Amino acid sequence: MKITFFSAKKYDIDSFTKANLQYNFELEFFETHLGPHSIEMLQNADAICVFVNDKLNRQVLEGLSKKNIKYVALRCAGFNNVDLDAARELGINVCRVPAYSPEAVAEHALALIMTLNRKTHKAYNRVREQNFSLQGLMGFNLNEKTVGVIGTGKIGAAFCRIMLGMGCKVLAFDLMVNKELEAAGVEYLPLIELLQQSHIISLHCPLNEQTTQLINHQTLSLTQPKVMIINTGRGKLIDTKAVIEALKNGHVGYLGIDVYEQEEKLFFKDLSTEIIQDDTLQRLMSFPNVLVTAHQAFFTEEALNEIADITLQNVQALSQQKPQAVAKALLA
Ligand code: NAI
């Protein structure tokens, strides 16, 4: 069984090579992303392993089918980048890693909040230049602030627990109520009320038709002045242009994003010597109250080890015709 990897970085090669000691698959790694241009690189592979910004549309899936690819293993949780109907029609199994260290992402959301609030990124640079002034570094106590969590699945639930621990009042909106969180003190409300009452809003729902541009002109108009918006979900959960307007007029007080609408052209690459053509991202990065990280919320040692192990386990179960063993991971 040969698995060909796309968008593979050194840390992927390291974690998968280590996990593969248990499985003994033949692994082949390409740094390039998967797209119509890279299908010809496939040589006798049975499965491919891809990441968040590899686009598996119908054209790409048809190309994979012609190359006899039977399994697509996503080494991530989100799957908005795959045309699952096309995969089903072509008889290609698609699996993902439904859960891996949700705390990794939830803790990164907290890191975004704490950095934006207490400005540790500015303090770090200032002190190194022997500037010990506190001017401009004032934050606010998180204790007793109201935090609205949209999507209380695995990551949202971990984030709720963290924010309860910080002494916050935690409000939630989800299609399903998590009774354990409710018992722990989380209050489920309709979306409108959550937007109206929260000082901080954190997005942890998947990207789908209902959630695309959930944060837009209209929903922003309901939020508290100086609201802090945190997005570690997917870039398209936010209408970036609407948020830029709200940042310019001061209604949005802070924005922390680990994901961005057009990230596939930028994230995971070193573009430090290039001219960035994306004016929207450049505008975002020009605000002093905006913090952008490049899809790193998942990036902990524990999470990478789990991702590698679960991905290979998924491929093994599928290749041994045991789809029920990976039912939770199987998308098509
Ligand atoms: P999950 O499937 O456990 O939870 C998603 C929750 O969102 C569920 O409770 C679901 O009922 C809820 N939901 C679905 N539609 C909704 C709607 N219209 N409104 C409100 N809630 C809705 O997923 P998990 O593992 O918690 O991940 C959440 C998202 O986080 C993923 O879909 C992915 O996009 C993103 N993610 C980001 C990472 C990063 O590194 N930045 C890493 C991993 C995931």
Give the residue whose CA is nearest to atom 8 of ligand 1.
153
From the centroid of its chain, how far is CA 276? 22
Q: What is the largest distance, in Å, between two alpha-carbon atoms of the chain?
A: 64
Residue 317 pLDDT > 90, yes or no?
A: yes
Do 2-100+300-326 and 102-292 come out as alike in CATH topology?
Answer: yes
What average pLDDT does this structure show over 30-45?
A: 95
Percent of the chain residues past pLDDT 70, beyond the cut: 100
What average pLDDT does this structure show over 160-169?
A: 98
Q: Could you tell me which residue, 322 or 177, shows the higher pLDDT?
A: 177
206 C-alpha to ligand 1 centroid (Å): 4
305 C-alpha to ligand 1 centroid (Å): 21
9 C-alpha to ligand 1 centroid (Å): 25
Give the residue whose CA is nearest to atom 42 of ligand 1.
298
Residue 323 pLDDT > 90, yes or no?
A: no
pTM: 0.93
Cα–Cα distances (Å) from 46 to 68, 169, 293, 311, 322, in that order, read 7, 50, 34, 14, 16
Residue 108 pLDDT > 90, yes or no?
A: yes
What average pLDDT does this structure show over 47-59?
A: 96
Pocket of ligand 1 (CB under 6 A): 77-78, 99, 102, 105, 150-156, 173-176, 204-207, 210-211, 232-234, 258-259, 295, 297-298
Domain at 102-292, CATH class: alpha beta
Instruction: Write down the catalytic residue from 234, 261, 264, 306.
Output: 234
Does residue 295 have an active-site annotation?
Answer: yes
Residue 228 pLDDT > 90, yes or no?
A: yes
What average pLDDT does this structure show over 177-206?
A: 98
- Among 25-29, 81-85, 263-267, 285-289, name the one with the lowest average pLDDT: 263-267
Does residue 209 have an active-site annotation?
Answer: no
151 C-alpha to ligand 1 centroid (Å): 6
Report the alpha-carbon distance of residue 60 to residue 82 in Å, rounded.
10
Give the residue whose CA is nearest to atom 43 of ligand 1.
77
What is the pLDDT at residue 324? 87
What average pLDDT does this structure show over 39-67?
A: 96
What is the pLDDT at residue 87? 98
What is the pLDDT at residue 325? 87
CATH superfamily name and code, 2-100+300-326: NAD(P)-binding Rossmann-like Domain (3.40.50.720)
Residue 27 pLDDT > 90, yes or no?
A: yes
Q: Which of 188, 204, 268 most suits a substitution to test ligand 1, by most atoms within 8 Å of the C-beta?
A: 204
What average pLDDT does this structure show over 132-153?
A: 98
What average pLDDT does this structure show over 274-299?
A: 97
3-state secondary structure the chain: CEEEECCCCHHHHHHHHHHHHHCCCEEEECCCCCCCCCHHHCCCCCEEEECCCCCECHHHHHHHHHCCCCEEEECCCCCCCECHHHHHHHCCEEECCCCCCHHHHHHHHHHHHHHHHHCHHHHHHHHHCCCCCCCCCCCCCCCCCEEEEECCCHHHHHHHHHHHHCCCEEEEECCCCCHHHHHHCCEECCHHHHHHHCCEEEECCCCCCCCCCCECHHHHHCCCCCEEEEECCCHHHECHHHHHHHHHCCCEEEEEECCCCCHHHCCCCCCCCCCCCCHHHHHHHCCCCEEECCCCCCCCHHHHHHHHHHHHHHHHHHHCCCHHHHCCCECC
Does residue 263 have an active-site annotation?
Answer: yes
Residue 208 pLDDT > 90, yes or no?
A: yes
Q: How many residues does the chain have?
A: 332
pLDDT tier at 61 (50, 70, 90 boundaries)? very high
What average pLDDT does this structure show over 154-163?
A: 98
Domain residue ranges of the chain, discontinuous segments joined by +: 2-100+300-326, 102-292
Cα–Cα distances (Å) from 35 to 39, 40, 73, 103, 163, in that order, read 7, 10, 15, 31, 40
Report the alpha-carbon distance of residue 286 to residue 271 in Å, rounded.
17
Residue 34 pLDDT > 90, yes or no?
A: yes
